[in-house]
Amino acid sequence: MSKVEGKTSRRLQIRWRWTFMVEFAVIMTVASLMMIILNVERDAWLNNQEKQAKVSVNRLAEALKLPLLSGSEAEVGAIIHSFMETEKAVLAVSVHFAHSKQGKIFGDEGGDRMLLNHQAYTATVLRLKSENLWFAKRIQYANTSIGDVAVRYSQTAWALLSQRILHQMLLAAIVVVLLSSLLIYWIAGQISKPMEALADAASRVAGGDYQVQLTVKGNDEVSDAMSQFNQMVMELAHKEKMRDTFGKYLNPKLVSEVFEHGSAKMDNHRQVVTVIFADMVGFTSFSESATPEYVVDVLNKHFEVFHRIIDYFTGNVDKYIGDAVMAVFNHPKENEHHVEYAVLAALAMAKACEHLGVLRQNGEKISFRVGLNCGDAIVGSIGANERLEYTVIGDTVNIASRMCGLGEGGEVILSHATFEALDERFGFETLGMKKVKGVTDLLECGRVVVQDQAVQEKIDAAVGLAFDLTLPVALRAQIGEVT
């Protein structure tokens, strides 16, 4: 059985295919040999029978000369009866009298009466053209024909001989078929085992396991294929490692294009996106009072959890800017609910900071402000030929950054225009009309809050999953207990 794309299909293994093919070839060969041997043996038997018939028919012809000359049918009959009793293989004798042009048959003529009446006889013993075994001769006296005699011999001996030959050949054929089948099954098994291992390994590689390596034995085509397979897996593993490494630094869409198509063909276009900015509250004072190693370690712990949360809600971390992270939703992974998912990710990031519980030197917990905005943005490759960055730019991005600066630690700030894309499961706590740098009109901004228990449970699940996937037990105990 084999499973392909979840469907089970029946297949005939190579060892059985080879076994059946060899069995068929052996059977056909044995059958052909049987026909040839039977024909050769029958020809030999007929030649031997013909030699014996010539002797007995000539003897009978000599015995019938005087009775045929005298025309004594009684004496002819007596001689023939005596001949048939002596020759047990004789089934019938046919005699024609030349002077009366009449004939008489003794015994079973086998349905050949018409043949015997119209047969042209010769002075030598010849076999008549019949399915039955007839040998005939013209009886002459002083070069004058006085009659004809034909003798039918039994073919029982040949039937017994042919049965014995067939029986012995069938026994030999059975032994040959069995032994050859076992041998071929074993040989095919030795060949199919590495092929099955190769198929199983290919299935594992298709499933993403690039640690597969086959044991190569021998020096033939199969071992060459296995060696090439191992080399291919090593190349795939190297390529996947490079993809993972570059994916940590570059846009995932850019990485996929390069590795799948050999080059990056990033089109520049406008697209509706939701952008999140999150930065640490009081980062300047924190960085001045802590060692560089500790600052980087704290940022990485938070960013690791943030990345998991953003990825869980189908977002993409566009870049890290010092103590801030920028994430984009609906690009490159498109999602029609990108505003809702961005809000869920932002709320989960705020809650994750509380669970991390990393403290400053003054005992306060480190917190992040989160701001988001939805709108049109330009998606494209920005930079010089020597160094490009595939990102999003525009007022939507700038406003999201400004929203981040309006809130306090643990708050998620957005414009009312963005909030209108949400449903009644979320609430809006207004901060009033705000002047946002780069925007002419005042914008109504506010905090987004959860008003539905199911939504809160989804946020809690995302936070818990982010910690389960990123932090070992020892590190959890160090930075705070995760509920």
Whole-prediction pTM value? Answer: 0.51
Give the three-class secondary structure for 8.
strand
As beta bridge partners, residue 55 has none
Residue 79: partners with Cβ closer than 8 Å, 6 or more residues away? 60, 63, 64, 67
Query: Among candidates 146, 149, 138, which has minimal Cα distance to 66?
Result: 146
In what helix (H) or strand (E) does residue 207 lie, and over which residues does it extend? none
Spans of the chain below 70 pLDDT: 1-12, 99-100, 242-266, 469-483
Amino acid type, 425: R
What pLDDT sits at residue 288? 86
Q: At what angle do helices 252-261 and 221-247 cross, to 10 degrees?
A: 160
Token reading at 308: 């998991």
Torsion angles phi and psi, residue 168, rounded to 5: -65, -40
Q: How far is CA 468 from CA 304, 305, 319, 442, 445, in A?
A: 12, 10, 24, 42, 34
DSSP characters over 233-244: HHHHHHHHHHHH
- From residue 26, give the alpha-carbon distance in Å to each of 3, 40, 110, 174: 34, 21, 39, 10
Question: For residues 355 and 367, is the Cβ–Cβ distance under 8 A?
Answer: no
Q: Is the bond preceding residue 332 a cis peptide, omega within 30 degrees?
A: yes
Q: Is 14-159's fold the same as 266-479's?
A: no
Strands of 309-425 (E only): list them: 316-321, 324-329, 368-384, 387-393, 412-415
Burial of 394 (0-12, 13-18, 19+ CB in 10 A): middle
406 phi, psi to nearest 5 deg: -85, -20
Contacts 24+ apart (CB under 8 A), 408-411: 408/281, 408/367, 408/369, 409/281, 409/353, 409/367, 409/368, 409/369, 410/350, 410/353, 410/354, 410/367, 410/368, 411/350, 411/369, 411/370, 411/447
Distance CA 180, CA 186 (A): 10
CB 482 within 8 A of CB 465: no
Spatial CA neighbour of 414 closest among 325, 472, 344: 344
In the prediction, which pLDDT does 273 show? Answer: 94
Q: What DSSP designation does 20 have? A: H
Is residue 22 within 8 A of residue 102, CB to CB? The reply is: no
CATH of 14-159 among 3.30.450.20, 3.30.350.10, 3.40.50.150, 3.40.605.10: 3.30.450.20
Q: Report the C-alpha gap between 433 and 438 in whole angstroms.
A: 15
- Residue 377 and residue 270 in contact, taking contact as beta carbons nearer than 8 Å: yes
Determine the Cα–Cα distance for residues 169 and 30; give it in Å rounded to an integer: 8
pLDDT score for 265? 55
Q: What are phi and psi of 267, to 5 degrees?
A: -85, 140
Domain residue limits, the chain: 14-159, 209-249, 266-479
Pairwise CA distance, residues 317 & 349, whole Å: 13
Helix axes 14-70 and 73-86, enclosed angle (nearest 10): 150
**Maximal CA-CA distance, the chain:** 155
* pLDDT given for residue 305 in this prediction: 92
The CATH T-level fold of domain 266-479 is Alpha-Beta Plaits (3.30.70)
